[in-house]
């Protein structure tokens, strides 16, 4: 299947700093990418939908000024956690959607390996 | 987006067949049913997807009754490495909601020796 990478895989930062997480689709173009957050023992929570060349759409309750999303190319989306605080510590996962018109393929959305963020 | 209900946890032993049922009473005509597997500290991994009747691949089978209000993921002869959380998702993967996937609580499967 298609490959999605995330960088870094793990990051530790001080409270008040900003952290950027990259999500790349390695062997396909993704017009749409999604960002999720997952706390321990909980399910994935969709944060936002990122479309190439346009502003991201945020889910209710997600602060767009705190979680900046940029989708500058068809293979790269970035999530920046601005002024991070300990409560932002979580596992951040991105996914990338392949051509939605290709119905010959069952799997149309591919997930990255996740980024573990720890804010001290 | 249709809401899904799954058992929170299940226990099994190596070599057994495991069936995880998911309820989705409000499934829409265009909705597909997709199952993902997630190991700790990893992203979800696609297992199988179906619309109706039965779908089988190299790792699992998916049974969907005629009314499509539920589905059952069947894992044949599980091993310790199948210990993971399994998520059932329902949605139109293409046209509506922009392909958004909303995860429910999932089923934590524990396989014992």
- DSSP secondary structure letters along chain B: ----B--SEEEEETT--EEEEEE-TT--TT-EEEEEEE-TTS--EEEEEESSEEEE-SS-EEEE-TT-SEEEEEESS--GGG-EEEEEEEE-SSSSGGG-------EEEEEE-
Among A26-30, A36-40, A114-118, B21-25, which is the least confidently predicted range?
A: A26-30
> In the predicted model, is pLDDT for residue A113 greater than 70?
yes
**Which chain B residues are closer than 8 Å to A100 by Cβ?**
93-95, 99
Taking residues A40-46, report their average pLDDT: 93
CB pairs below 8 Å between A and B: how many?
A: 61
For residue A1, what pLDDT is reported? 64
Taking residues A99-107, report their average pLDDT: 56
**Which chain B residues are closer than 8 Å to A113 by Cβ?**
42-43
Task: Identify which of A49, A93, A100 has the shortest CB distance to residue B43.
Answer: A93
For residue A27, what pLDDT is reported? 86
Q: Would you place residue A10 in the very low, low, confident or very high pLDDT band (cuts 50, 70, 90)?
A: very high
For residue A107, what pLDDT is reported? 60
Q: Would you place residue A54 in the very low, low, confident or very high pLDDT band (cuts 50, 70, 90)?
A: confident
Residue spans of chain B under pLDDT 50: 95-96
> In the predicted model, is pLDDT for residue A105 greater than 60?
no
């Amino acid at each position: 299947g298609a490959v999605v990478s995330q960088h870094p895989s793990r990051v530790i930062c001080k409270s008040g700093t900003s952290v950027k997480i990259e999500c790349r689709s390695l062997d396909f173009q993704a017009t749409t990418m999604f960002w999720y957050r997952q706390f321990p023992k909980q399910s994935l929570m969709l944060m936002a939908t990122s479309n190439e060349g346009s502003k991201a759409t945020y889910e209710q309750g997600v602060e767009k000024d705190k979680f900046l999303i940029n989708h500058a190319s068809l293979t790269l989306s970035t999530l920046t956690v601005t002024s991070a605080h300990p409560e932002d510590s979580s596992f951040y996962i991105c996914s990338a959607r392949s051509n939605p018109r290709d119905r010959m393929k069952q799997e149309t959305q591919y997930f990255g390996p996740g980024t573990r963020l720890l804010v001290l | 987006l249709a809401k899904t209900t799954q058992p929170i946890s299940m226990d099994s032993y190596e070599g057994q067949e495991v069936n995880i049922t998911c309820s989705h009473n409000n499934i829409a005509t265009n909705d597909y049913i997709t199952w993902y597997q997630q190991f700790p500290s990893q992203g979800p991994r696609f297992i199988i997807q179906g619309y109706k009747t039965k779908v089988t691949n190299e790792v699992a089978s998916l049974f969907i009754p005629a009314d499509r209000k539920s589905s059952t993921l069947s894992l044949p002869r599980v091993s310790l490495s199948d210990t993971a959380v399994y998520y059932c998702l329902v949605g139109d993967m293409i046209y509506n909601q922009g392909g958004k996937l909303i995860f429910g609580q999932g089923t934590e499967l524990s396989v014992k020796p």
